[in-house]
Structure 1
Amino acid sequence: MRNTPWNAVSLLLLTTALAACGGNKQAGETPRPALVVHPGGGAEAALSAYAGEVRARRESALSFRVGGNLTRRDVDVGDRVRQGQVLAMLDPGDLTLQAQAAQAQLAAAEADLARARDDRDRFAKLVEQQVVSRSAFDAQVAAFKAAEGQARAARAQMDVARNQAAYSQLRAPRDGVIASRQVEAGQVVAAGQTVFTLAADGGREVAIGLPENRIRQFSPGQAVMVELWNAPDRRWPGSIREISPAADPQTRTYAARVDLPGDAAQAVELGQSARVYVQDNGIKAALKLPLSAVQRGPDGNTSVWVVDPADGKVALRPVRLGPYGETDVPVLAGIKADDWVVAGGGHLLREGQAVTPVDRDNRPVPLRAAVAKR
């Protein structure tokens, strides 16, 4: 009993020490670093990009109308040609002989026609004198008409042979540039076999492929924006001119052509790579967040961690999302453009926990300064 006062003092000192240790532990808990970002996009998040290639609006596959041995090739890929210019030539030997044979047949037919005409006129005088019968005269008239028909047929055949002889020269149907070449001099080509592809001067378009799961969102005349890969700081307005009614059997996409205005057509070159941006329906002003920022809340709803700039503590906020992309997702409701959202490590946080905001370079983000500026 004599030691009771000392025991009470010892118990009091021990309780105070434990309390002090607990307070120091609570006070010494450091905020966890958290990567924070502002929601990006706005109207930009509602744009879908499709890769394409600049093509001529009118592309012609040039070929000979007759077959033969290609003896001359006067142009190559990239050469500019004029309407009527000779591009290539076949060996005209056989075609020239056919034209000469047709001309000889025409001369023979015209000689027969002249003889039949003379016989008809002579029999006409004899039938008036009743020297020959009427039936003999009718036979001469029929022979004249037959000779006349033979002469017309021979004349048409000669015209065809002359045309075929002229077909040995392949000429440019309009001004443009040679986009591709499929044959070489010395090769035997068939009638209708493609020799060159001509990209005509004038309109320029961007050829793209539209996915089959979203094909109903596109229509001819729909406004788009076109950006060249070598000029990402400028975009030209355009419109969808046509959409293929059937999907490509290999890529399962629908081929589409995007028409470019006059100034853009003058600025682009054939074969350049381009991006076509199309406004998505239903999310015209959506913000976007990285996929790593999306969390599943306790109630099962999709949520994100938002940092309060005043005290640096996080709060779980439910959001409504649009269709997921490869790296980000549109946010239709639940956040504002100036909110600070945790973009990484959200699964390690708890409600009301204090964090140290950092950017992607691991540099501190001064949230209070941002509040003061606003």
Structure 2
Amino acid sequence: MPVMMAVAFLAGLTGCSRPEPEQAKTVLVVAARPAEDPAGVAIGVVRSASLHAVAAQNGGRVEKLLVDVGAHVRAGQVLAMFDSRAENLKLASATADAARLSAVAEERRHNFKRMDALMRASAISQSAFDAAKADARSTEKAAASARDLAALAKRDLDLTAVRSPIDGVVAARPVRLSDTVAPGTVMFEVDGQGPREVVTSAPAAAVALLQPGMSLRLRMNGSEGRGVVTEIGERVSANSSRDIRVRIASGDFAPGSVVEIVLAPDRTKAAGALVPASAVIAPAGTAKAVFIVTADGRLKRVPVSLKAIGSAGALVDGAVRPGDRVVAAGASFLTDGMAVKPVLTAR
């Protein structure tokens, strides 16, 4: 009897126990966006079509920086100065040598004129006359060479001042005070305030639909403008892209701005939705799919077909609508119907 009572008591406890609640798994989700062909969008940086790179011709140690980014400058204005002590010494020495040799050459010219007059009067020998003539010529050549060296020293001194080639605005200044720069190093970029352009690359299939003169839509942080295709590269790169150059016709896009170029404005709208490429899963032997989070916090596996993929994401067709919460990553480790805690993340 006691044993039967104990068994009945344990059975009663077992019947009263409840299953543990299902633990919701945290997943990162994004909102599916309206469909837009990702191959129809390229990203580029706005630059001035009249941007001039100002490089150091001789190089040296930067002693003075006279302008900063954003400064308005005039053609010929000094932007920076190198340490010029060595160049000043060379110029002083070369100038002194040129002056000394010029004086010697002048003296030898006068001597040759005198010897020439004596020779006409048969007062000196031919050898004395020839020696005076050779002496005058050699000293004149030496004086001319010294003057050339002085001119070169003057040029080197002038090059210790870095000047703007155009009127414009300083767009970049990659050097710092006391830097030692090599000849040819770009020290400033001066924007001539002319037309702006975007030079970028895009999938070759999309670029094949373009032609010079075509008007394209530009976008940046909600603002829009227009651009005109001015140049299309012929070479296809290893990643199947081609270069394009677009001149900005309208829109407030300052040099340095990052803009989207809609390459085929009449073909951007499509059926389906745009989701992160990492959201699309395709386990072996199964169709492609994405997981969406339902209103009750559970996962729903939705079969999709992949129409295109690019930098903007994956364009999918199926029962996915703009605004649906799509699992952004790690979907391969999830199961249909699982309870989840969605965390919205940036695209």
Q: Same fold (TM over 0.5)?
A: yes
> Going by fraction, where is helix more abundant, 1 or 2?
1
CA contact (8 A) 1:89 1:169 kept: yes
Partner of 2:147: 155
> Over residues 257-285 of structure 1, what are the superposed CA-to-partner deviations in whole Å (9 max), with x where a residue is unaligned?
21123x54xx32111122222338xxx67
Match of 1:224 among 193, 198, 215: 215
CA contact (8 A) 2:52 2:190 kept: yes
Partner of 2:97: 105
> Over residues 278-321 of structure 1, what are the superposed CA-to-partner deviations in whole Å (9 max), with x where a residue is unaligned?
338xxx679732279xxxxxxxxxxxxxxxxxxxxxxxxxxxxx
Partner of 1:136: 128
Q: How does 1:60-139 map to 2 (within 5 A)?
A: 60-139=52-131
| Identical pairs, percent | 25
How far off its partner does 1:45 sit? 7.1
Q: How does 1:1-374 map to 2 (within 5 A)?
A: 48-212=40-204, 215-219=207-211, 221-232=212-223, 234-236=224-226, 238-246=227-235, 253-261=241-249, 263-264=250-251, 267-279=252-264, 288-290=270-272, 324=308, 326-328=314-316, 343-344=318-319
How far off its partner does 1:195 sit? 1.6
How far off its partner does 1:78 sit? 3.0
Partner of 2:289: none
CA contact (8 A) 1:224 1:279 kept: no
TM-score (norm 2): 0.64
Q: Tell me, in whole angstroms, the C-alpha distance in 2 between the residues paired with 1:275 and 1:171.
A: 35
Q: Tell me, in whole angstroms, the C-alpha distance in 1 between the residues paired with 2:173 and 2:117.
A: 68
Distance 1:328 1:81, change over 3 A: farther
Could you tell me which amino acid in structure 2 is paired with residue 259 of structure 1?
A: R
CA contact (8 A) 2:63 2:81 kept: yes
Q: Tell me, in whole angstroms, the C-alpha distance in 1 between the residues paired with 2:162 and 2:243.
A: 31
SS at match of 2:142: helix
Q: Tell me, in whole angstroms, the C-alpha distance in 1 between the residues paired with 2:232 and 2:88.
A: 46
TM-score (norm 1): 0.60
Number of aligned residues: 257
SS at match of 2:263: strand
How far off its partner does 1:163 sit? 1.5
Q: Tell me, in whole angstroms, the C-alpha distance in 2 between the residues paired with 1:146 and 1:216.
A: 69
How far off its partner does 1:72 sit? 1.0
SS at match of 2:137: helix
CA contact (8 A) 1:223 1:278 kept: no
**Structure with larger Rg:** 1
Distance 1:191 1:285, change over 3 A: closer
Could you tell me which amino acid in structure 2 is paired with residue 123 of structure 1?
A: M
SS at match of 1:136: helix
Distance 1:77 1:85, change over 3 A: same
> Over residues 226-270 of structure 1, what are the superposed CA-to-partner deviations in whole Å (9 max), with x where a residue is unaligned?
3231344x432x322234455667x66433221123x54xx3211
How far off its partner does 1:187 sit? 1.8
SS at match of 1:279: coil
CA contact (8 A) 2:69 2:170 kept: yes
Could you tell me which amino acid in structure 1 is paired with residue 256 of structure 2?
A: G
Distance 1:240 1:84, change over 3 A: same
Distance 1:170 1:112, change over 3 A: same
Q: Tell me, in whole angstroms, the C-alpha distance in 2 between the residues paired with 1:246 and 1:141.
A: 66
CA contact (8 A) 1:224 1:276 kept: no
Q: Tell me, in whole angstroms, the C-alpha distance in 2 between the residues paired with 1:274 and 1:167.
A: 38
Distance 1:206 1:63, change over 3 A: same
Distance 1:132 1:245, change over 3 A: farther
CA contact (8 A) 1:224 1:278 kept: no
CA contact (8 A) 1:46 1:285 kept: no
Q: Tell me, in whole angstroms, the C-alpha distance in 2 between the residues paired with 1:246 and 1:127.
A: 76
How far off its partner does 1:99 sit? 0.7
SS at match of 2:165: coil
Partner of 1:364: none
How far off its partner does 1:360 sit? 7.1
Could you tell me which amino acid in structure 2 is paired with residue 85 of structure 1?
A: Q
CA contact (8 A) 1:47 1:277 kept: no
CA contact (8 A) 2:50 2:192 kept: yes
CA contact (8 A) 2:217 2:263 kept: no
Could you tell me which amino acid in structure 2 is paired with residue 97 of structure 1?
A: L
Q: Tell me, in whole angstroms, the C-alpha distance in 1 between the residues paired with 2:237 and 2:67.
A: 33
Aligned CA-pair RMSD: 3.4
Partner of 1:22: none
SS at match of 1:327: strand
How far off its partner does 1:49 sit? 1.9
